[in-house]
Amino acid sequence: MPELNESEVYWWRPLDAAVATDTRSKILFAAYKEIHLHGFQSASLNNILAHTGVSKGALYHYFPNKTELGYAVIEEVIADRIFRSFIQPLQQADDPVQSLIELIQQAGRSFTLKDIQMGCPLGSLAQEMAPISEGFRLRLNKIYQLWHGAIIEALSRAQQQGRLIPQVVPEQLAVMVVATLEGCLSAGMIAQDLTRLTQCGAGLIQYLQLISIDKK
């Protein structure tokens, strides 16, 4: 399956990947890339090793086995990305719904074709591993719960401020927003077309605007 060249396509701000100098971090980020590209089950430890120049002994010095390496990727790399990109911005907002809309818009604008080519690291790993491994499912679910919680809190706040129609149930909408967001990214990835992504996002934004109340 060598249709994709593994060159530096890589996505969504290099983040700490460049900063990572110690061996453990190097392994962790290489593992994150490999898992995101091939999925966990098909991720090859030898590939990770080859990309980092680290030896197998080093890998097994820091991680007892492949599964634990996968757990570490979830808890240390993926969780951090979701938190920084989608949770933290919501907590600081004073107009929650508007900033939720802007968050979606900004995501839609900043994405390039290459960015969406590989889909959401959280979503694809969840799709693959949740059905076959409780250990993975539990750890991935924890991230989703955090994400949902942040949106629920934001929507409730908006409702209290009178910026959101009272018929909306925050718990309900929050789950739907996350689901749609991931679905949109997935749709853009499959079509390999940014307009599909923005189309999808526009649909969600229209909904949010429909249920929000302009205060001015």
- The contact set with its own copies (CB under 8 A) reads 1, 3-4, 37-39, 41-42, 67, 117-119, 123-124, 126-128, 130-135, 137, 140-141, 144, 167-169, 171-173, 175-184, 186-187, 189-192, 196, 199-200, 202-204, 206-207, 210-211
For residues 41 and 86, the answer to whether their CB atoms sit within 8 Å is no
For residues 156 and 67, the answer to whether their CB atoms sit within 8 Å is no
- Alpha helix locations (H) across 53-120? 56-62, 66-72, 79-82, 88-91, 96-110, 113-116
Nearer to its own copies, 96 or 123 (CB): 123
| 58 contributes a contact to DNA by CB under 7 A | yes
Nearer to DNA, 41 or 209 (CB): 41
Helix (H, G, I), strand (E, B) or coil at 61: helix
| 47 contributes a contact to DNA by CB under 7 A | yes
For residues 116 and 55, the answer to whether their CB atoms sit within 8 Å is no
Nearer to its own copies, 77 or 177 (CB): 177
Distances (CA, A) of 111 to 70, 120, 167: 26, 12, 33
Enumerate residues 6+ apart whose C-beta is below 8 A from 133: 67
Contact partner at residue 44 from its own copies, DNA, none, CB < 5 to 8 Å by partner kind: DNA
**Which amino acid, 20?**
A
Among 4, 6, 13, 56, binds DNA (CB under 7 A): 56
| 4 contributes a contact to DNA by CB under 7 A | no
Residue 44 and residue 102: Cα distance in Å, rounded? 38
Contact partner at residue 14 from its own copies, DNA, none, CB < 5 to 8 Å by partner kind: none
Among 16, 20, 39, 66, binds DNA (CB under 7 A): 66
